Amino acid sequence: TFDVLIVGGGPAGAAAAVYAARKGVKTGVVAERFGGQVLDTLGIENFISVKQTEGPKMAAALEEHVKAYEVDIMNLQRAEQLVPADADGLITVKLASGAALRSRSVVVATGARWREMNVPGEREYRGRGVAYCPHCDGPLFKGKRVAVIGGGNSGVEAAIDLAGIVAHVTLIEFDGKLRADEVLQRKLRSLPNVRVILSAQTTEVHGESGKVNALSYKDRSSGDQHRIELEGVFVQIGLLPNTDWLRGSVALSGRGEIEVDARGATSLPGVFAAGDATTTPYKQIVIAMGEGSKAALSAFDHLIRSSAP
């Protein structure tokens, strides 16, 4: 039996593990892939106090920091179900392996994944011109030409954000109209270096010498193919929280994000959540770490307030 069981081994889960272990309580981490999205990241330049680092390096540092404490790390294990606290106040997390872990509190930090376009070139040029996070990678395209795929709020926000950094932005929307809030659309239309293309389906990302150099799309009304020369493609067609396994147990938002309050508490007593899997805005490493630390402190607070010693 654990005092604090953390599900997820990304920045949020690692931070929660360090904070929980430092309270001297029995701490475990279950992770499908320790390191999380950080493992898929090339350069990181916004982890405050570290000017520049690489994802795999940070992932190794996360693991090293957690291993400096007495934490039971169960890597390559997928959680499949969460059962609310029983009469003894114990929460159960069932794993795909068939094992069931019991804990007095749980911190869920299962993160999220970007929805991909699934077109040729997207995977190949990921991190080499294909990007998903304007806050992370926008400055790398200073003075260059980029496309933003997706005309929802995040796509239009990204286009407005990038227009202030890059030379030119082409926003590509599949539908016949943008879905973003009117105030954002108005702001977008006021920008001189943004072009909006509607009813357009991205068909391929092209590159040369390992770098993106163009994008092809199909005009959905005429069927014509077009090619745009550019250096970057920001894909903004959705961030999918890894929370399917919680459906029916923990309250989720319409987008499937775990609803948390300012302390990281979820709808279930003793169950806390942090990072990209939650409703907390702005999905970033520093934010996930802060939220993970907060959730662990809230779990500890729960432990000292519950009756069992």
Which residues belong to the annotated binding site for NAD(+)?
A: 145-159
CB of 190 vs ligand FAD, minimal distance in Å? 29
Instruction: Note whether 256 and 243 are within 8 A (CB).
Output: yes
3-state secondary structure of 215: strand
Q: Which of 2, 132, 272, 300 binds ligand FAD (CB under 6 A)?
A: 132
Give the closest residue to 201 by CA, choosing from 234, 181, 176, 169.
176
Nearer to ligand FAD, 50 or 191 (CB): 50
C-alpha to C-alpha distance for 141 and 138, rounded to whole angstroms: 6
Nearer to ligand FAD, 7 or 172 (CB): 7
Q: Which of 268, 285, 296, 303 binds ligand FAD (CB under 6 A)?
A: 285
Q: Say if strands 239-241 and 27-31 run parallel, antiparallel, or are unpaired.
A: unpaired
3-state secondary structure of 61: helix
160 binds ligand FAD (CB under 6 A): no
33 binds ligand FAD (CB under 6 A): yes
Q: Which of 3, 4, 6, 10 binds ligand FAD (CB under 6 A)?
A: 10
245 binds ligand FAD (CB under 6 A): yes
C-alpha to C-alpha distance for 40 and 58, rounded to whole angstroms: 11
23 binds ligand FAD (CB under 6 A): no
Q: Which of 66, 71, 117, 136 binds ligand FAD (CB under 6 A)?
A: 136
Instruction: Note whether 9 and 50 are within 8 A (CB).
Output: no
Residues contacting residue 126 through CB under 8 Å, at least 6 positions apart: 40
Pull the structure tokens for residue 256: 């499937």
CB of 289 vs ligand FAD, minimal distance in Å? 8
106 binds ligand FAD (CB under 6 A): no
Q: Which of 5, 25, 31, 299 binds ligand FAD (CB under 6 A)?
A: 31
30 binds ligand FAD (CB under 6 A): yes
CB of 276 vs ligand FAD, minimal distance in Å? 4
Sign of the Cα torsion 25, 31, 33, 36 reads negative
Whole-angstrom CA distances from 290 to 28, 47, 109, 276 are: 19, 12, 12, 12
Pull the structure tokens for residue 246: 């919680």
Give contact residues for ligand FAD (rule: CB under 6 A).
Answer: 7-13, 30-34, 36-38, 40-41, 44, 46, 78-79, 109-112, 114, 132-133, 136, 242, 245, 275-277, 283-286, 288
